[in-house]
Amino acid sequence: MVISPAPDLALYVHWPFCLSKCPYCDFNSHVRARIDQDRFGRALRRELAYEAARLGRRRLTSVFFGGGTPSLMAPATVAAILDDAARHFDPAPGVEITLEANPTSIEAGRLADFRAAGVNRVSIGIQSLDDAALATLGRRHSAREAVAALALARRLFPRVSFDLIYARPGQDLPSWRAELRAALAIADDHLSLYQLTIEAATPFEALHRQGRLILPDEDTAAALYDATGEECARAGLLAYEISNYARPGEESRHNLAYWRYQDYAGIGPGAHGRVTVDGTLRATRRHRAPEPWAERVEQSGHGTTDDAPIAAEERAREALLMGLRLAEGIDLRRFEARTGRTLAQSVDAAVLAQCLEEGYLVLTSDRLQATPEGRIRLDTLLGCLVA
């Protein structure tokens, strides 16, 4: 009998605290006047130990500190978590270790400490290089501070990425091209460029509902998306995912684990995971609220609220939803091995045929891909395509 090796693992660590809540954000983030760093650090390490005990030795390919604002964490906590992860798992050579940061929470000593802790990639939430836009987005930094923070990060870390938001109220094509060119002039190997969307239960959603916040129309948004790809390609950064652009070889390995539907463990308040336990893929979720999550960890070693096997049909749906975001698309052999279903069993045949005919998807003997035109319409397509 041949025993299959345990799949590689990506690790996500959620730090839920921010200095303020941005009006467009629906992430699990919380503002606190005071944060008990020791308590939450201990809880994260204990939950990591719980997860490692049931997963066993795995090759660890990436660690991602997300939030919230992980750069508000004590660097010693980051170092301790990374030490624990290296003890529980087997770090791959050159394991990618990313920490998200905001310019307002960056200063030389802290960034240097994060680098010393083992972080080798930083992702900075700049969001705009326009001060008026930053004010609209509720950001607490200026464009000058953002550029300075980026320069500092590039001196300390071998890999740096930053985020921008476009399709903002009042934004037109010439202004976005100018802003993006300025960003590309200071970018290194990776950019995340997101269209502003209205998320439920956010201040922006209320303003939009009242007609006080108006986004660019669909045609303008599509033109902005097309221009984004053109400008990035001109600078040597290719669209490997709908909102992510990188020089070849500099893609986010951690995020690729999500989009390729590989195993990832999530610890911390509200963190999700997809992990193989005893040969079964399971969906996990932790309690969202920070203090109740910490109490659960202190009482039982983990803050899990959901932990259930994923049925084959749901595995296929998730793999399609994630994989078609990638320019590389979905490897059909890997899809079938991971989900237990063929593509034909997982999609509406008539819709697939129409998508192929209209040039939104491309199907070969071993791969299904969305074309650039298809990726623009992906949410709509997937709603019809997935059986």
Residue 336 has pLDDT above 60, yes or no: yes
Indicate where the chain has its CATH 3.20.20.70 domain(s).
9-258
CA distance 139 to 196: 14
Confidence at 268, pLDDT banded by 50, 70, 90: very high
Round the CA-based radius of gyration of the chain to a whole number and report it: 21
Question: 3-state DSSP call for residue 210?
Answer: coil
Overall residue count recorded for the chain in this entry: 387
CATH of 9-258, one of 3.20.20.480, 2.40.50.220, 3.20.20.70, 1.10.1660.10: 3.20.20.70
CA distance 141 to 105: 9
| The pair of three-digit structure tokens given for residue 261, joined into one six-digit string | 């539907």
Q: What mean pLDDT comes out for the span 371-385?
A: 91
* DSSP 8-state assignment for residue 180: H
Q: Please, what is the end-to-end C-alpha distance for the chain in angstroms?
A: 35
Question: For the segment 142-184, what is each residue's pLDDT rounded down to a tens digit?
Answer: 999 999 999 999 999 999 999 999 999 999 999 999 999 999 9
Mean pLDDT of the chain: 94
Task: Give the pLDDT score at 3.
Answer: 41
* DSSP 8-state assignment for residue 283: E
Pairing of strands 121-127, 30-31: unpaired
Q: Can the peptide bond before residue 211 be classed as cis, meaning omega within 30 degrees of 0?
A: no
List, in order, residues 6 or more apart from 106 with CB less than 8 Å away: 71, 124, 149, 152, 153
Prediction pTM value:
0.96
Cβ atoms 18, 4 nearer than 8 A: no
- What are the C-alpha distances in Å from 230 to residues 235, 236, 237, 269? 9, 10, 10, 38
Which residues make beta-bridge pairs with 12?
A: 64, 266
Which residues make beta-bridge pairs with 122?
A: 99, 160
Question: 3-state DSSP call for residue 8?
Answer: coil
